[in-house]
Amino acid sequence: MPLLLAAITSTVFYRPLPPSTGQSSVVILATTTSTRDAGLLDSLLPVFERQSGYRVKVIAVGSGQALAMGRRGDADVVLSHAPEAERLLVDSGFFVRRRLVMHNEFLVVGPATDSAGVRGMSDAVAAFRRIAERHAPFVSRGDQSGTHQRELQLWKRAGVAQPDPGGGAWYVESGQGMGATLQLADEKRAYTLTDRATYLAWRDKLQLVPLVEGDSLLYNVYHVLELNPHNAARINLAGGAALADFFVAPATQALIAEFGKARFGQSLFVPDAGKPDRR
């Protein structure tokens, strides 16, 4: 990311106040594995740390686990892509602010041989139905992440009872992050649902190819959520708010827009701060 980091010297960023005496200088960010596995956090967080004086500790897990950490007060701020679960927790008062950061899209990837015959389909529900009907090998995250939640929604829309990892050899749960799940699907010559950013970051190590894309149901949106201090008294409230503000600041959004272009010829995430929220 040298070009991105060099560019920041001429860009005006939101500058939070440095941590005051007695306040923790560490901000715990609970986030989805896709932001880590795609390399985005490695690009953005050093900028925040230099500007703010805070040090960020990243805990990359599935969005379900990241939101649970925020709910318990085990993180200071959450970056997630599980909109239905996020809205429920905001409505319940566990988070006081939820802001749109960016989006990309999910893809169905699989072996080039494409035994289920889904290549070129733009209807994700029909593709999932065909995979199930043909019992084509499929690897699920199985971890209540945003990706796993979207996968389960697609099975439901396809009229397929939630696949049982113990009831059919064709369906396997990895219980791991997106990068590891892609590797397992590659080894098994199986299909899986992935976000585009992580797939592109891992593409050179895989034989999996994109087969289904372009459906509105594959829209993948990320929000940053700030915790309610009344429910999590021990959190670094100021640090979490500073990092949340950083993610939606115009200059950070400009870096997100450029991330991946030099390597992949396209941005891996589309910045969305300030836009109408679709989810």
Which H or E run includes 131? helix 124-133
**Closest to 154 (Cα-Cα) out of 185, 128, 191:** 128
Counting Cβ atoms within 10 Å, is residue 7 exposed (0-12), middle (13-18) or buried (19+)? middle
Is pLDDT at 11 greater than 50 in this prediction? no
Helix axes 83-91, 63-72, angle to 10 degrees: 10
Instruction: Please determine, for residue 85, whether its predicted confidence score (pLDDT) is greater than 60.
Output: yes
- Per-residue pLDDT at 6: 40
Least confident of 150-164, 189-203, 248-262: 150-164
pLDDT in tens, 155-193: 999 998 767 655 568 999 999 989 999 999 999 999 999
User: Has residue 96 got a pLDDT over 90?
Assistant: yes
Question: What value does the mean pLDDT of the chain take?
Answer: 90
Tens-place pLDDT, residues 126-145: 999 999 999 999 999 998 88
Predicted confidence at residue 232, as pLDDT, reads 76
208-253 per-position pLDDT tens digit: 999 999 999 999 999 999 999 887 778 999 999 999 999 999 999 9
**What does the pLDDT read at residue 230?**
85
Q: In angstroms, rounded to a whole number, what is the distance separating the alpha carbons of residues 9 and 47? A: 10
